[in-house]
Structure 1
């Protein structure tokens, strides 16, 4: 992770992890899942003299998207999401923002596909389509930095819930087994909630996987 610095900011009532993927030399930054507290995140960006390049969404649930519009407009940056969650992003009843007393409708600038390779802020980022928590959930893998942004697919000792619309336990278990457990043990995992872990640790101790 020589060129990469990761800052974690838990936001909103569900303490959703918003991540800044910062390139140390240029301060260019990719924002992952700005779920709330957008003005506070903007203060952090300005304090660290960061240059946001894009917003990547792991999925379209409200607690991961409520800060998107503010930051997109503040920095004129594109929003990325997997194509299978693009419609969920547009409708408040699907993205569950009505549960938070909001009515959020967003349109992604870029709809992603499985295994698509992105170059953002100088980082090579691979899209891993991991449905199960939502129909279009995905993870972002940075192979050169040995880092995975796992959203609500994989957690420390757990996996995502599947009881919301579009959820599927069989799909989630398949996603984790086929897409994530094939990554190197030393891959650092940064989940949508809670503390970080590694692929090796989850392969050994996560009861949902063993």
Structure 2
């Protein structure tokens, strides 16, 4: 049984997820900001981090990547379509906001670029990376089917969906991703979004106004 710890970080309260097992190993998803809080949580819980995974590379999801990666010597996994966004503030969105620094993150090693939908088996963490573009062209959702949850970034929220007015965004593509990749999951699957509270496919199919009439 895996444990999911959520930390809401940074100026827009982005959810970072620390997924751990009984052996005190963990994976870190979307370390968006406040690296000191993430490091403190990992050390307080006596966890051994194995890797960082990104759902996408908007600035609020990548701000702590380099600090976390260097502190724990971790590989970074990211979709191939957004590798260049890590070091390009005009793409990752930080250039739009004068009050923010330009977010420039070091590129991952070539072998850690996600090019195809695939099953990851890292120790006893078994999950599938599925492509859910629309909010951004390289958005990835991570489905932990055996454990009944999914980490979906800014694709689907409680009662809402991701914005599509940023670079590479598309409402049509986003809705297709949600219906074909997320709403097909068991209705009680816990959906962990990039912001806000968790939800389930069952709740969203019934209550989410953006999904009706697709």
TM (normalized to structure 1)? Answer: 0.95
- The Cα offsets for residues 20-53 of structure 1, whole Å up to 9 and x where unpaired, read as 0011x21100001000000111011111100000
Hey, what does 2:18 align to over in structure 1? 20
Tell me how far apart the structure 1 counterparts of residues 86 and 32 of structure 2 sit (CA, whole Å): 13
Tell me how far apart the structure 1 counterparts of residues 70 and 209 of structure 2 sit (CA, whole Å): 42
1:76-95 residue pairs with structure 2 within 5 A? Answer: 76-95=73-92
Gaps of 5+ in 2: none
Check conservation: 2:65, 2:105, Cα contact below 8 A.
no
Q: Which runs of 4+ in 1 moved over 3 A?
A: none
Check conservation: 1:135, 1:166, Cα contact below 8 A.
yes
Hey, what does 2:135 align to over in structure 1? 133
Q: Does the alignment pair 1:191 with 2:166? A: no
Hey, what does 1:115 align to over in structure 2? 117
- Matched residue SS, 1:70: helix
Check conservation: 2:25, 2:49, Cα contact below 8 A.
yes
Q: How many aligned residue pairs are there?
A: 207
Q: Does the alignment pair 1:55 with 2:52? A: yes
Tell me how far apart the structure 2 counterparts of residues 41 and 143 of structure 1 sit (CA, whole Å): 25
Check conservation: 1:134, 1:162, Cα contact below 8 A.
yes
Hey, what does 2:106 align to over in structure 1? 106
- Matched residue SS, 1:208: helix
Check conservation: 1:113, 1:129, Cα contact below 8 A.
no
CA shift for structure 1 position 200? 1.0
Hey, what does 2:5 align to over in structure 1? 7
Check conservation: 2:136, 2:167, Cα contact below 8 A.
yes
Check conservation: 1:30, 1:121, Cα contact below 8 A.
no
**RMSD, aligned CA:** 1.1
Q: Does the alignment pair 1:201 with 2:203? A: yes
